A and B are shown apart, each in its own frame.
Chain A
């Protein structure tokens, strides 16, 4: 079992690391650690799904092993591969000295470990982040099932590699594709929503230290209002933090707050039509 953190400890250590999680996420993380099950996170783009994996690794004092999924990803990219070129070279060189045993060719030095295998072998010191699983093909999803339910993988040349403890695993999905039920069944689930104003303010103030209280309040209100507009791309937390930082730069050069916010609006909405909508709504 991973570090015995209770829910309060998770919430505080995450907050110290700059991640302000709501109670639902804290509960889900706690259960994922205690039950030894993967956690599937879904939510709008930019609400900090990927960041959960990174921060969790930091507060647990572990390495974050990130597997970025993409169309066409397969076992050789995710799990392991043999260094075929080196194997062939080895055969050529070793042949001069005499016969070569095949077993030599499957020595660890020829094995290239990819994130999943690395995570299995270092289960105690790793947080595995399988990012944007919806971008992978459904075949890859099926390939992950054995890993997610038993934390083991079968490799023909080596045998079954099994983790000695459950791997702390976070999966994220942007829902560009419906995930298979079999995958969902093996995971705990949490939907990350946009934060409420108080939490968003805490996030902004921690990531843009030194921002004036009045400006932060104004910014958070404006972001919340912007999310209610029919925008093509609604701003996430990353955008509000960028906006705060941008406005601070302008403010330091002497622009008053409302003006600084208005001029750096491009950091919040990045589509010309969205920008026109936000400007018309006069949020700042």
Chain B
């Protein structure tokens, strides 16, 4: 093997070492591809590598780093940042300065920006009362709505006759139809999207809210959770842990902006701007856990909530402030979003969170945008 061949042959291994899922079959494809494809410069090599060794756009940045490091010193590679204009993986909002980034919630050693509270969030273990409520949540979750899917599944009491299956069964009885096989539409839990404010003003509630989210994630499929403060973090994987305390411990590492500042509007905009996230909201039951105390101009928040409400099936705002019977959504931000909300419910304690599923079941049957009714006298 020439040195160049050595260098090429070692590259897939270097990617693997950097954590990319490069299996031997892919490595072989890469080496075959290098032989047959046009190879004039490092940019060509990078293109071949990307096509054969990566499996999604998220892997591009890591691929590029390893590529630059591995082939450093090779003629022409120093300038081989793959084509700027089209090939570089764009963030979902290119060209906007100071845009909020979405973190995947991995436990990486990211440097926190100055306005994020330093240090890891310390969670206390759930108390006796909380445990009891958490254990009882499972029954409450059973009231949450379901959806019928397009898909038909076999079911003895289904209303549609499965003709192909019936015909197949009839073959066993010499073509005579003895049993009618039936099917019905598959029923699945409605997708839920939880957006949890973990900023300083929600300090007293973010922990119980996340415990609630963890219990929900464990007992039901199709639940996605994001936290936001100064950044947006997807925490669904952490919440899938069976043990509540372990899940929270992982969260403390993954979420770097606990008890810091808050930019609700920007967080929601970031959420909506990420292509895949729109799909998570579509047709989903969306719960936003936040006090809605937006600093600065509330217009972006109002616009983002409006959009979120139209994407989702129902949008429920859960605020600790709403626990007070005298509470009125009077701030500009809250007054602005009220027409888009299907409900504004209290979320000050685990006990009030435990009552949410029953309330939501009722909201499912109501027309949309009914939250303002509860505060009607005030408006008049």
Which A residues touch B342, using CB under 8 A?
none
Cβ contact within 8 Å between B83 and A176:
no
The complex places the Cα of A72 from the Cα of B152 at a distance, in Å, of 7
Q: How far is the CB of A146 from chain B (nearest CB, A)?
A: 15
- In Å, the complex CA distance between A124 and B152 comes to 35
A259 part of interface (Cβ distance < 8 Å): no
10 tightest A-B CB contacts, nearest first: A184-B55, A72-B151, A84-B167, A176-B279, A28-B51, A196-B85, A228-B95, A72-B150, A27-B47, A191-B57
Which residues in window 6-55 of B have CB below 8 A to A? Answer: 21, 23, 25-26, 29, 32-33, 36-38, 43-44, 47-48, 50-52, 54-55
B21 touches A181 (CB 8 A): yes
Q: Which residues of A202-237 have CB atoms within 8 Å of chain B's CB atoms?
A: 227-228, 230, 232
Within 8 A of B (CB), among A65-89: 70-72, 76, 81-82, 84-85, 87-88
Q: Cβ of A181 and Cβ of B60 under 8 Å apart?
A: no
Does B2 lie at the interface of the complex (its beta carbon under 8 Å from any beta carbon of A)? no
User: With A and B bound together, what is the CA distance between A28 and B149 in angstroms?
Assistant: 36
Measured between beta carbons, the chain A residues less than 8 angstroms from B44 are 23, 27
Q: Which residues of B contact A177 (CB under 8 A)?
A: 279
User: C-beta contact mask, B280-303 vs A, less than 8 Å → 1, else 0?
Assistant: 000000000000000000000001
- Can you sample 23 A-B contacts with CB below 8 Å? A6-B38, A24-B51, A24-B83, A24-B87, A27-B48, A27-B51, A34-B33, A34-B36, A34-B37, A42-B57, A71-B150, A71-B151, A72-B149, A84-B164, A185-B25, A188-B52, A189-B50, A191-B60, A193-B86, A196-B85, A228-B94, A228-B96, A230-B93
Complex CA gap A24/B306 in Å reads 38
Chain A residues with Cβ below 8 Å from B149 are 71-72
Contacts of A228 in B (CB 8 A): 94-96
Q: B276, A176: Cβ atoms under 8 Å?
A: yes
- Within B58-89, which residues are at the interface with A (CB < 8 Å)? 60, 82-83, 85-87, 89
Contact of B167 among A88, A102, A181, A185 (CB under 8 A): A88
Contact flag A230-B33 (CB < 8 Å), given A24-B50, A27-B51: no
Complex: how many Å from CA A87 to CA B168? 10
Bitwise interface map of B from 157 to 177 toward A, beta carbon under 8 Å scored 1, else 0: 000000110011011000100
- Residue-wise, chain A 176-192 has the 8 Å CB interface mask toward B (1 for contact) of 11110100110111110
Q: How far is the CB of B84 from chain A (nearest CB, A)?
A: 9
A-B interface pairs (CB < 8 A), number? 127
The number of chain A residues touching the other chain, given as a range, is 35 or more
Interface class of chain B by DSSP: helix
Task: Verify A31–B152 contact, CB threshold 8 A.
Answer: no
In the assembled complex, the Cα of A196 lies from the Cα of B83 at a distance in Å of 11
Q: Is A273 part of the contact surface with B, judged by Cβ < 8 Å?
A: yes
Flag whether B142 is at the interface (Cβ < 8 A).
no
Chain A residues closer than 8 Å to B55, beta-carbon distance: 40, 181, 184-185, 187, 189
Instruction: Find out whether the CB atom of A31 lies under 8 angstroms from the CB atom of B48.
Output: yes
Is the pair B54, A189 in contact by a Cβ cutoff of 8 Å? Answer: yes
Check if B113 is an interface residue, CB within 8 A of chain A: no
Query: Would you call A92 and B163 a contact (CB within 8 A)?
Result: no
- Chain B residues lying within 8 Å of A194, measured Cβ to Cβ, are 86
Contacts of A230 in B (CB 8 A): 93, 96, 269, 273
Q: Give the residues from 292 to 322 in chain B that come closer than 8 angstroms, CB to CB, to chain A.
A: 303, 306-307
Residues of chain B lying within 8 A (CB to CB) of residue A91: 175
Given known A30-B37, A84-B168, A193-B87, contact A44–B275 (CB-CB < 8 A): yes
CB distance from A172 to the nearest CB of B (A): 14
